[in-house]
């Protein structure tokens, strides 16, 4: 029975089409703080609710999809556990690999959750629009000026830009779809070993 449930989840992850086409980076954060928090907490019991709250709040301040940005951070930090080969550690408050340009580099460090999330959102903002920062905002992203402004308005266009992996955006958006369906999926995702869960995100059906 358990194997059947896992296979159903795997098939869904592999076959779910991008029915909405391009997925804009800019837009209102659609999912609630509670859902964002509980989704990550289901894989990391130490996850801080403040992080989900900050992605929601800062994302809306910049008009960036904070819920999808959280999924990007899940991918970059290993569910905010900063283990199993992630380039950054938790003390850097760097949730998106900013400044990690080669294997072994530690990347940028920030003063706390708010600054770390803001830097990530600002970097997404640089990709998504040529507009100046919202009124009253201070630039904290040290690599903001390295981006060709407005070159990637959609999440799909971050593959090969933000990260070299040509499935980078696909993996982020699969996580987002799972978060959208979390009420139904939580029973079958909690308890799946990490290596198997990662293989599902990669679109592989376990043997």
Q: Sketch out the chain's domains with CATH numbers.
A: 2-199 (1.10.530.10)
pLDDT at 149 exceeding the cut of 50? yes
Name the one residue in this structure whose structure tokens are 């308005």: 153
* Model pLDDT, residue 154: 98
d(CA 179, CA 200): 14
Better-scored residue on pLDDT, 4 or 181: 181
* Model pLDDT, residue 101: 72
44-76 pLDDT, tens digit per residue, is 999 999 999 999 999 999 999 999 999 999 999
* Model pLDDT, residue 3: 58
* Model pLDDT, residue 5: 53
* Model pLDDT, residue 115: 98
pLDDT at 129 exceeding the cut of 70? yes
pTM above 0.85, yes or no: no
């Amino acid at each position: 029975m358990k194997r059947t449930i896992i296979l159903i989840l795997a098939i869904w992850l592999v076959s779910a089409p991008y029915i909405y086409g391009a997925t804009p980076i800019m837009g209102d954060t659609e999912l609630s703080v509670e859902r964002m928090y509980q989704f990550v907490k289901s894989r990391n019991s130490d996850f801080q609710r403040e992080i989900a709250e900050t992605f929601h709040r800062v994302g809306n301040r910049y008009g960036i999809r904070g819920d999808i940005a959280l999924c990007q951070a899940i991918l970059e930090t290993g569910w905010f556990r900063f283990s199993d080969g992630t380039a950054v550690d938790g003390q850097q408050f760097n949730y998106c690999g900013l400044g990690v340009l080669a294997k072994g580099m530690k990347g940028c460090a920030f003063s706390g959750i708010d600054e770390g999330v803001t830097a990530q959102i600002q970097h997404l903002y640089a990709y998504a629009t040529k507009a100046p920062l919202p009124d009253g905002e201070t630039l904290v992203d040290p690599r903001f000026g390295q981006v060709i402004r407005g070159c990637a308005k959609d999440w799909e266009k971050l593959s090969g830009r933000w990260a070299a992996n040509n499935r980078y955006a696909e993996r982020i958006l699969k996580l987002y779809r799972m978060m959208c369906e979390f009420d139904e999926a939580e029973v079958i995702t909690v308890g799946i070993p990490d290596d198997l869960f990662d293989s599902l995100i990669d679109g592989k059906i376990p043997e």
